[in-house]
Amino acid sequence: MPEGDTVHRAAGLLDRSLTGHVLTATDFRVPQLATSDLTGGTVTTTVARGKHLLTRISHEGAELTLHTHLKMEGAWRVLRPGQPWRRPAHQARVVLRTASSVAVGFSLGVVELLPTAQEGTVVGHLGPDLLGPDWDEEEALRRLRADPGRPITEALLDQRNLAGIGNMYAAELCFLAGVHPRTPVGEIAALPRLVRRSQQVLALNAERGTQSTTGSLRTGDRMWVYRRDRSPCRRCGTPVAVDMAGPAGRERATYWCPHCQPA
């Protein structure tokens, strides 16, 4: 699933390309919006909230928000009119056209329209956004500490605690903190440092557009443990371990170094 920095960059792309422009055509290729038409509306902004995208549109006196979520396979692409799409047309879920751009949302996991005043119904449950202008480290720590017995990986992935961390960053941040992914939150003395580093890593990667936690931007060298199971740890040489963790039915692969992150 795309991480918060990926969604943040997608919001920036849509904002730069569409904001202030009039929609010359719209196409919503999901059953619940099949008859919706926002042609003539003006895009006022696109913002990210955790892993959610909110594109606000002023249309016929109404202020509406197009709420989308990339889920596992989704992506937004902005093309010039007439430029070929790089993904099959049957994967397109939303097409927004202006005189200068064509924004296509492919394989989006969530597509819905709602009054902008009701955005809280879809993102109000989220914790502080690691990349948002209102990032609040103390509030994120308060939410994490509210369940001290919860494994740290599960707590970091819970968007109600802090918004933006996905499976990759959860594994990498635990390695950087030297904690086993199943360590209870209440046992992590350096939790403030872990949370602060989370914000720093996502902000840096959002700015440069390449995800790396090692500092190297070379392909194959960007991660410490994520998807490196059975490969030697970059610090100590111990084979990286992998296991499934999380609530029943929602387990995810988690990675760690048994030596650098002892149980």
Q: Look at the alpha carbons of 162, 163, 164, 170 in this order and tell me if their dihedral is positive or negative.
A: positive
- Helix (H/G/I), strand (E/B), else coil: 9: helix
**Residue 55 contacts by C-beta under 8 Å, 6 or more apart in sequence?**
14, 18, 43, 45, 46, 65, 66, 68, 96
Catalytic sites, residue numbers: 2-3, 51, 252
CB 236 within 8 A of CB 259: yes
User: What is the spatial distance between Cα 104 and Cα 46, in angstroms, rounded to a whole number?
Assistant: 14
The secondary structure of residue 51, as a DSSP letter, is T
CA separation for the pair 148, 140 (Å, rounded): 13
Gap between the Cα atoms of 220 and 50, Å rounded:
27
Structural tokens at position 147: 């369940």
